[in-house]
């Protein structure tokens, strides 16, 4: 059995993965794949993680959890998706770095189902937009959340290396949230093991959030003209629609944090680009790029 954990991060998914998989439930069920909604597993995992305290679940405990969560009897692949796997958003920042506890949390998730083949999927997010999102949650002021931590010190490189060290024998798939509008179908297909020739329902969901209606109409019309729609041609269509019909307020984020300037935002973004390039080159990382 394969168990997949889609771990966010905060401010990247808004449960779109859960909604998209639900739209494709018929295909998933037919192929022995189940994607329980977070309400099915949230409390089960919370209680189990607390009881185990980092230890490995017994076969009996695994079965109890599966019985409580699943609708089908013996799925070959189970997909769990929620940003709360990484804890509260307001704890993503610490003096130890960005998501310093992520490796420990992912290792604990793998220990829930030690008899299964566990896989982990995670979307990175530019700290220049991640930190404003975190501060926007109901968890404290900017000063309380940052606790004097320089924002430019919050890097993804150490976080991903720590995750790799914590789950060295498990598949780790990574992509940038900023690329999601172009690669969403590939992300979903990789998580669901859905072949490219199988129609994907709700494949335009992410674009629907950031495009004017005319943009969606344009995409559907252009895709219908294709004799053989490839990943490259689809991305070209998506890019053209974004260039012509993107909602301005969805493409640009105004950052109003104490002491932040455009120069600082640009610097953090440059560091993020450096981290992404290095992470994509790490052995053992499956990096999805546009």
Domain-by-domain residue ranges, the chain? 2-198+262-288
155 — phi, psi (to 5°)?
-115, 150
Q: Rounded distance, CA 4 to CA 135, Å?
A: 29
Report how far Cα 17 is from the mean position of its chain's Cα atoms.
8
Query: What is the 8-class DSSP label of residue 29?
Result: H
Average pLDDT, rounded, for the chain: 91
For the entire predicted model, the pTM comes to: 0.91
Please choose, from the candidates 182, 181, 183, 161, the residue with its C-alpha nearest in 3D space to the C-alpha of residue 172: 161
CATH C-level class of 2-198+262-288: alpha beta
Lowest-pLDDT choice from 28-37, 55-64, 180-189: 180-189
Q: Rounded distance, CA 240 to CA 114, Å?
A: 45
- How many percent of the chain have pLDDT more than 90? 69
96 is written with which tokens?
């130890």
Lowest-pLDDT choice from 104-118, 130-144, 150-164, 272-286: 130-144
Average pLDDT over residues 14-18: 88
Identify which has the larger pLDDT, 140 or 94. Answer: 94
Per-residue pLDDT at 181 exceeds 90: no
| Angle, in degrees to the nearest 10, between helices 102-110 and 38-52 | 100
In contact, 203 and 183? CB cutoff 8 Å? no
Q: Rounded distance, CA 91 to CA 98, Å?
A: 9
Identify which has the larger pLDDT, 138 or 54. Answer: 54
Per-residue pLDDT at 90 exceeds 70: yes
Cis peptide bond N-terminal to 9, omega within 30: yes
- pLDDT-derived band at 237 (thresholds 50, 70, 90) equals confident
Per-residue pLDDT at 251 exceeds 70: no
Please choose, from the candidates 28, 13, 134, the residue with its C-alpha nearest in 3D space to the C-alpha of residue 81: 13
């Amino acid at each position: 059995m394969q168990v997949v954990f889609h771990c966010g991060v905060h401010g990247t998914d808004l449960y779109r993965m859960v909604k998209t998989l639900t739209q494709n439930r018929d295909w998933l069920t037919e192929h022995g794949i189940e994607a329980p909604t977070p309400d099915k597993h949230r409390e089960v995992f919370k209680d189990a993680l607390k009881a185990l305290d980092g230890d490995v679940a017994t076969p009996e405990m695994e079965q109890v959890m599966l019985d409580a969560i699943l609708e089908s009897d013996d799925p070959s692949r189970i997909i769990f998706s929620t940003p709360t796997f990484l804890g509260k958003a307001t704890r993503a920042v610490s003096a130890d770095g960005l998501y310093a506890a992520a490796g420990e949390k992912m290792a604990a998730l793998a220990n829930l189902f030690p008899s299964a083949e566990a896989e982990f999927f995670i979307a990175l997010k530019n700290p220049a937009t991640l930190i404003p999102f975190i501060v926007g949650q109901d968890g404290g002021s900017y000063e309380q959340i940052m606790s004097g931590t320089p924002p430019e010190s919050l890097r993804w490189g150490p976080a991903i290396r720590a995750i790799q060290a914590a789950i060295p024998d498990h598949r780790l798939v990574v992509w940038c949230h900023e690329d999601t509008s172009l690669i969403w179908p590939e992300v979903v297909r990789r998580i669901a093991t859905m072949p490219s020739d199988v129609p994907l329902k709700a494949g335009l969901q992410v674009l629907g959030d950031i495009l004017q209606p005319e943009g969606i109409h344009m995409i559907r019309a252009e895709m219908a003209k294709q004799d053989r729609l490839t990943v490259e041609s689809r991305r070209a269509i998506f890019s053209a629609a974004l260039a012509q019909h993107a909602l301005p307020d969805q493409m640009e984020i105004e950052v109003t944090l104490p002491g932040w300037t455009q120069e600082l935002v640009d610097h953090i973004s440059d560091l993020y680009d450096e981290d992404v390039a290095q992470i994509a080159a790490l052995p053992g990382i499956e990096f999805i790029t546009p």
